[in-house]
Amino acid sequence: MIYSAKVMEHFANPRNVGELADANGIGEVGNAKCGDIMKIYLKIENDTIVDVRFKTFGCGAAIATSSMATELIKGKPLSEALKLTNKAVVEALDGLPPVKIHCSVLSEQAIKAAIADYYTRLGIDPTPFVGKLDSEEEHEHGCACDCDE
């Protein structure tokens, strides 16, 4: 499988790895078929993501998409972070092989789940902001990977 230089760079030197002890929004999503699990930690102040970290268990593309997604939302207002699409993550990485697109979907879902968690912690229904979060079962059809590579 051929990956872009940006994918390889974010896999070899991922940004924003780890946990945030003072995170006030945490989202975890996974794909049972291929085993990718992404956990995103957000530190939000005044509706802006002031810090973000991630822990991902999965293939190189999963790690690269997590890294790039955190770079794309760091310092951004929640309204802008919620507009981040998996397509934007793929474009920022100069593309992904078709069988790895699901990794970018997981990164988008993990960010939305973390923002939903933030609103829930504030006692606010996250649905008007985040929308309905996809369940793992709804996502699984998109996984055509062999994540043992």
Could you write out the DSSP letters of every residue in 78-103?
Answer: HHHHTT--HHHHHHHTT---GGGHHH
Active site residue 143: no
d(CA 128, CA 6): 34
CA pair distance 71, 35, nearest whole angstrom:
23
The answer to whether 93 touches 65, Cβ cutoff 8 Å, is: yes
103 is catalytic: yes
Q: Annotated catalytic residue: which of 59, 103, 145, 147? A: 103
Catalytic residues: 34, 103
